[in-house]
Chains A and B, each alone.
Chain A
């Protein structure tokens, strides 16, 4: 049997030495290509910690992680950078755009980091992306001259720029109103279905979680629930991890 795209085994993370915090403890799961997964749980339960480990931004204190056949523990810093750039895409709660650069430059930054001449050979793809994101006519604007929703759409485009197989999103709609939240969800779904990109979305938003195919719940650093969405009675299965609306 072929490796899953993401395999976590007994993943654990302890912060601090003198005053240690066990943020994540013995988390195991497998995520395949083209999955559309949400991670839910109370504030402080360890969701971001888990996502940062999967995103190779942080290193686990115990357990193992395999990404697309790579053992995370055996990667050096450049190897991790390389995978973050090519295999992974990130969307954060804060858009994290670079204010010194234009919309187009921000969008194509991952390609530039990869050493691709973004504007030329990737032109058609970038054009398609811009259209899908509804950013036509904004390319030349400064990253700071956009609305919150527009900024987040640029960030999403940036996450997809190098056509990663996995997009990790940590509360991507945390700062957005309902309308923009809906737009982000629709974009994620569209890319997931069109390109088979795997999405792992940490969210507090019940409405979003309910519309993902698989829901992983973290409580006090442990994985307490990992269910397929039957789209029939999801809320009942989600337990108390979701704040009520």
Chain B
């Protein structure tokens, strides 16, 4: 079977700083991988490099997405090919109406998939259930993108967009941070709904909490730009119990 994502010895940096120091990771269809790590370990950098944010230097390594060279593609080409990034800090875009924005995005992706474009009425019908799923107010669609949304609404809005765009690979960057337990349940529910044998997700988180709801197949610990340990879902529990220091100490011992 062709992997969805294959990262091989990826080294990358920004503004002259070397941040990712050799990451290898393979994600097969149907799998959920969690990447955990302390603040500053490079989690968001990994997400940014995958989504194609400008300004990052790829020092070495390669990333293949569904068999193609991901790093060659523009961000919009990656999105159309089914890669989705749920932002850690969703951007407020005053003046751009949410419906207008999301319909434009959906139609770009549908065009790419050889599907007919949706008009405004079809679109509203299509998103109705998904808004409910994320327990968001329909009013949100009339407002500018993320403007005036609470922190929790912004995160739920990311997952709502994901539910609408139906990606093959979702990269969730700390989607759980700042959420109360109810919101966490709602967001997880949204992510789980999208789980299928064809799709995959890379769930980035600082805390184990989210992984009670989105149960991963694999857990990777990222420290100082390297994956220092990988395991099953029980690794997350161990981290929760013993903290990141424990692995850091082991790392130092090994060195």
Partners in one complex: no
